[in-house]
Chains A and B, each alone.
Chain A
Amino acid sequence: MQIDVDLGPLGFLEGGHLLIKRALRNAGAGKSITVTGTSPELEIDLRSWCRDEGHNLELRPRNGEQTTRAAIVNGGAEAKRWTGAQRAGQADAAQTDGVVSHAPRRWGLAARGATVEAGSPEFDFHLVDKIEVWADDAARLYAQAVAAQWDPRTAIPWDAKFELDDDVEDAIVQLMTYLIENETAALIIPSRFIAQLHPHFREVMQLLAVQAADEARHIDVFTRRGLMKRDHLGLSTIGGQASLKTLVDEPEFAIASFLLSVLGEGTFLSLLWFIERYAPDPVTAAVAKLAAQDEGRHVAFGIAHLTQHLNNDSSFRVRLADSVRRRHDALQHTAGLNAEVFDALVLLAAGSWDPGDLRRGHQRVMDLTKEMDEGRQKRLRRLGFSEQEAAEISSLHTRNFM
């Protein structure tokens, strides 16, 4: 069917080119359309545009009229551009082949479900295999994470009036210093993997980004609590940093996720709820509680994608167990949890310097480490480790908790 475009007085640059492009696309390669219009520059613009786009232009004689009349044959460049283009999966991850098992690097930054021009540049993404990174639950966890974001300014009662014993305040400052250090590791690790992750795994990328944002907020509120009544933060030890360095240095996503999210942040859940429970002031209680809620999601994602990974490759379980043993060996000559943190937890749980309270406080910290161990074993069993394996692996987990 012949397509005729009458632009009237509409200029080529004023939107006339859109009508012409649409008509040429509808006509198809090798087919012609006619264009008429009274814009004074139409002929000039048609000539240069058709030349650049590879269309064949035939201008009809004006015979003294104002109106430009032209026939344009679609040169087919647009159709040629999309020869060999590929659909990059499906936007909806639930559709068949929505998320492919191996994402081609040349799909690059294209949105999942977009059509990617052949010959697009390859990006140096390392995490391109679904098995390594994917969890069907990622979209749900991401939505939950976005809905659960809190504003440090309003979520925490910064204006609450309280006065603590100097030693108790010092203990809180030391705990905050320790938490900041650990949450910094928990921010850096997912951030590093985001840069390596193929964006085809969009929901995982988004979830890791929110996870990093969570940690940024935790660092913020722990710092503010630490400096509420003191000019300086507390102590950072070699043992604590050595333990975290083994996490930061772990090059493999799935193993880093296992060590950080399942074992480390899993253990931290117990710690944060413990701090919330025995907090001597409402600000400490609030920052610990809000951080614990966020950490729960991080643990859930770690378990979700590792479960899926292990369902596809059960032999990976051996490597996970080895990674804990390796980390234990690397850290066996370090101090682990710094003594000041341990003492601070005891004092926090005691609530005073009374010997009877201190004994109770110490017992509560002992109960905490037992609860942490049980929590780790439970999560390990969910990943398919036997009771014996879970007990062994949990016992080898770093004394630094994270």
Chain B
Amino acid sequence: MGTEGQLIMGAVAYDPKVVSIWDGFQKYFRARDLDFDYVLFSNYEKQVEAHFQGLIHAAWNSPLAWLQSERAAKALGRRAEAIVMRDTDMDLTSIVLVRADSGISGLAGLKGKRVAVGASDSPQAKLIPLNFLAEKGLRPNADFTVIVFDKLVGKHGDHIGGEREAARALMNGEADAACILDGNRLGFARDGTISSSATRVLAQTPPFDHCNFTVLDGAPTGLISRFRDLLLEMSYANAEVRPLFDLERLKSWLPGRTRGYAQLSAAVDRFGTIDSFVKGVAAQCK
């Protein structure tokens, strides 16, 4: 473990702005008597491994990394906790977009069609929507063809490049449908990736949750408690914090919850996405 009295957090460098965000928070925490430092990983798998090896006290985890941590902890008889998340991590949905003139009017219309998805480890642009379709009786790569836009695997879809490619494939006719996060419909329409009038939402998943700060049992409780309290008391009205919130896309931090991960959990069960990784982590730590 790191320097005594210092809280070390892990985050994944999915974008250069990550450095600005955590440098900013580091300054904020240190000004409030929390000796805070962070380590950046190139992918979530390395971060989860490092967490179980005790190299970091807390991890800013994707929903998939949360499940990896939760399941590895369970396999080791330990406990993972989601302590804090963004307001914007709660109640997201994914949508299945089709071209407005496609003639596909219901999910059954996807049979035999090409469905574009984001990165193979993206909860919102692949795992959750494909599980949703499977639950509706449409088996991926059996009832329809999946076209994967595998951008930056290991970042768990944080980099939306794959989703954007999927949306482009829909617009240029390479695909008949595209799976994206609900909010990206607005974003892609604004930046011209898609035309909102030329597309139609065929289906929407139930709500699910996204990232969280994960801690494992045995983490230094005083430091974690101080970290949690400082996060929760941050205000968007504070000019020091607001640019960081804007970069990290939140208006407030909220206490963590785990009930929003059921759909992703069902998806990884169905597709076996993280089984071998979780076994590997558990084996390393036994």
B242 touches A41 (CB 8 A): no
B240 touches A51 (CB 8 A): no
The yes or no answer to B150 lying at the interface (CB within 8 A) is no
Among B163-191, those with CB < 8 Å from A are 181-183, 185-186, 189-190
On A, residues with C-beta under 8 Å from B are 11-14, 40-41, 44-45, 47-49, 51-54, 75, 77, 80-81, 83-84, 117-119
Known: A44-B182, A47-B182. A81 touches B242 (CB 8 A): yes
Contact with B240, one of A11, A49, A80, A119 (Cβ below 8 angstroms) = A119
Interface contact tally, CB-CB below 8 A: 69
How far apart are the CA atoms of A49 and B88 in the complex, in Å?
10
How far apart are the CA atoms of A52 and B92 in the complex, in Å?
10
B252 touches A44 (CB 8 A): no
Known: A49-B186, A117-B239. A13 touches B196 (CB 8 A): yes
Shortest Cβ distance from A121 into chain B, in angstroms? 9
Instruction: Kindly list chain A residues whose C-beta atoms are within 8 Å of the C-beta of B243.
Output: 119
Which residue in chain B gives the minimum CB-CB distance to A85? B239
Instruction: Kindly list chain B residues whose C-beta atoms are within 8 Å of the C-beta of A13.
Output: 186, 189-190, 196
Contact with B90, one of A11, A44, A51 (Cβ below 8 angstroms) = A51
How far apart are the CA atoms of A84 and B189 in the complex, in Å?
34
A44 touches B201 (CB 8 A): yes
How far apart are the CA atoms of A118 and B200 in the complex, in Å?
41
B236 touches A48 (CB 8 A): no
How far apart are the CA atoms of A54 and B201 in the complex, in Å?
24
Instruction: Kindly list chain B residues whose C-beta atoms are within 8 Å of the C-beta of A54.
Output: 87, 236, 251-252
B204 touches A53 (CB 8 A): no
How far apart are the CA atoms of A51 and B87 in the complex, in Å?
7
Which residue in chain B gives the minimum CB-CB distance to A45? B186
Contact with A80, one of B190, B197, B200, B236 (Cβ below 8 angstroms) = B236
B204 touches A77 (CB 8 A): no
Shortest Cβ distance from A178 into chain B, in angstroms? 52
Contact with B185, one of A45, A51, A75, A81 (Cβ below 8 angstroms) = A45
Shortest Cβ distance from B104 into chain A, in angstroms? 14
The yes or no answer to B93 lying at the interface (CB within 8 A) is yes
How far apart are the CA atoms of A17 and B93 in the complex, in Å?
19
A119 touches B242 (CB 8 A): yes
Instruction: Kindly list chain B residues whose C-beta atoms are within 8 Å of the C-beta of A53.
Output: 251
Size band of the interface chain B makes with A: 20 to 34
Shortest Cβ distance from A40 into chain B, in angstroms? 7
**Interface of chain B, main secondary structure:** mixed
A40 touches B200 (CB 8 A): yes
Q: Which are the 8 A-B pairs with shortest beta-carbon distances?
A: A119-B239, A54-B251, A48-B183, A80-B237, A118-B239, A83-B237, A48-B182, A80-B236
Instruction: Kindly list chain B residues whose C-beta atoms are within 8 Å of the C-beta of A51.
Output: 87-88, 90-92, 183
How far apart are the CA atoms of A119 and B236 in the complex, in Å?
12
Contact with B91, one of A12, A47, A119 (Cβ below 8 angstroms) = A47
Which residue in chain A gives the minimum CB-CB distance to B93? A47
The yes or no answer to B249 lying at the interface (CB within 8 A) is yes
Shortest Cβ distance from A298 into chain B, in angstroms? 41
How far apart are the CA atoms of A40 and B189 in the complex, in Å?
16
How far apart are the CA atoms of A322 and B210 in the complex, in Å?
68
Supply 20 A–B pairs (Cβ within 8 Å), ascending by A.
A41-B185, A44-B182, A44-B204, A48-B181, A48-B183, A48-B186, A51-B87, A51-B88, A51-B90, A51-B92, A52-B88, A54-B236, A80-B235, A80-B237, A81-B236, A81-B237, A83-B237, A83-B239, A117-B239, A119-B243
The yes or no answer to B95 lying at the interface (CB within 8 A) is yes
Shortest Cβ distance from B125 into chain A, in angstroms? 14
Instruction: Kindly list chain B residues whose C-beta atoms are within 8 Å of the C-beta of A11.
Output: 196-197
Instruction: Kindly list chain B residues whose C-beta atoms are within 8 Å of the C-beta of A80.
Output: 235-237, 242
Residue picked from B91, B182, B197, most chain A C-beta under 10 Å: B182
How far apart are the CA atoms of A267 and B2 in the complex, in Å?
71
How far apart are the CA atoms of A51 and B208 in the complex, in Å?
13
Shortest Cβ distance from B236 into chain A, in angstroms? 4
Shortest Cβ distance from A350 into chain B, in angstroms? 70
How far apart are the CA atoms of A47 and B183 in the complex, in Å?
8
Shortest Cβ distance from A282 into chain B, in angstroms? 56
How far apart are the CA atoms of A41 and B92 in the complex, in Å?
15
Contact with B93, one of A40, A44, A49, A52 (Cβ below 8 angstroms) = A44
- Given A41-B200, A48-B185, list of 16 further CB < 8 A pairs? A13-B189, A13-B190, A40-B201, A41-B201, A44-B95, A44-B185, A44-B204, A51-B87, A51-B88, A51-B183, A75-B251, A80-B236, A80-B242, A81-B242, A118-B239, A119-B239
Shortest Cβ distance from A384 into chain B, in angstroms? 45
Instruction: Kindly list chain A residues whose C-beta atoms are within 8 Å of the C-beta of B190.
Output: 13
Which residue in chain A gives the minimum CB-CB distance to B86? A51
Instruction: Kindly list chain B residues whose C-beta atoms are within 8 Å of the C-beta of A52.
Output: 88, 183, 249
Instruction: Kindly list chain A residues whose C-beta atoms are within 8 Å of the C-beta of B251.
Output: 53-54, 75, 77
Instruction: Kindly list chain A residues whose C-beta atoms are within 8 Å of the C-beta of B185.
Output: 41, 44-45, 48
Shortest Cβ distance from A72 into chain B, in angstroms? 14
Shortest Cβ distance from A237 into chain B, in angstroms? 52
How far apart are the CA atoms of A40 and B185 in the complex, in Å?
14
How far apart are the CA atoms of A394 and B251 in the complex, in Å?
64
Instruction: Kindly list chain B residues whose C-beta atoms are within 8 Å of the C-beta of A48.
Output: 92-93, 181-183, 185-186
How far apart are the CA atoms of A84 and B236 in the complex, in Å?
12
How far apart are the CA atoms of A368 and B233 in the complex, in Å?
75
Which residue in chain A gives the minimum CB-CB distance to B183? A48
How far apart are the CA atoms of A48 and B183 in the complex, in Å?
5
How far apart are the CA atoms of A75 and B95 in the complex, in Å?
25
Instruction: Kindly list chain A residues whose C-beta atoms are within 8 Å of the C-beta of B201.
Output: 40-41, 44
Shortest Cβ distance from B248 into chain A, in angstroms? 12
How far apart are the CA atoms of A81 and B249 in the complex, in Å?
14
Instruction: Kindly list chain B residues whose C-beta atoms are within 8 Å of the C-beta of A81.
Output: 236-237, 242
Instruction: Kindly list chain B residues whose C-beta atoms are within 8 Å of the C-beta of A117.
Output: 239
Among B98-150, those with CB < 8 Å from A are none
How far apart are the CA atoms of A84 and B92 in the complex, in Å?
32
